[in-house]
Amino acid sequence: MEDLVIITGLQNTLLMGLAVPNSLKMCPNREFATIKDRHDPRIASNVDGKSTLRTTIHVLTNGVRLVEELKADEVLERWIKDVYVGEWQQVAKTDEMIVG
């Protein structure tokens, strides 16, 4: 069950990647270079009445922590091998299929 929570966290992180262009409209790239932490008002406050920027950064940060602290990349690889390929008899995607 823990593995599924970790994999779901990875999925949410990937979906948040789609919000990066919008986040850069809310706080341009040049501004990010000067932000020291998540408490900076440029990202801690609502921008245009929305918490989108703050929540996007929060989810992306959690995704990095999933990989670094909980080895989410290894959890996913193990799930692919054991469940997707092993139990479900599916063919794992090649690196070429994933990366292009």
pLDDT value at position 32? 87
The CA distance from 26 to 43, in Å, is 9
pLDDT classification of 26: cutoffs 50, 70, 90: very high
Q: Token pair 């990349």 is at which residue?
A: 73
pLDDT value at 11 more than 90: yes
The CA distance from 77 to 85, in Å, is 11
> What number of CA atoms fall less than 13 Å from residue 33's CA on the CB side?
3
pLDDT in tens, 28-83: 999 988 999 989 999 999 999 999 999 999 999 999 999 999 999 999 999 999 99
pLDDT value at 100 more than 90: no
First CA to last CA across the chain, in angstroms? 31
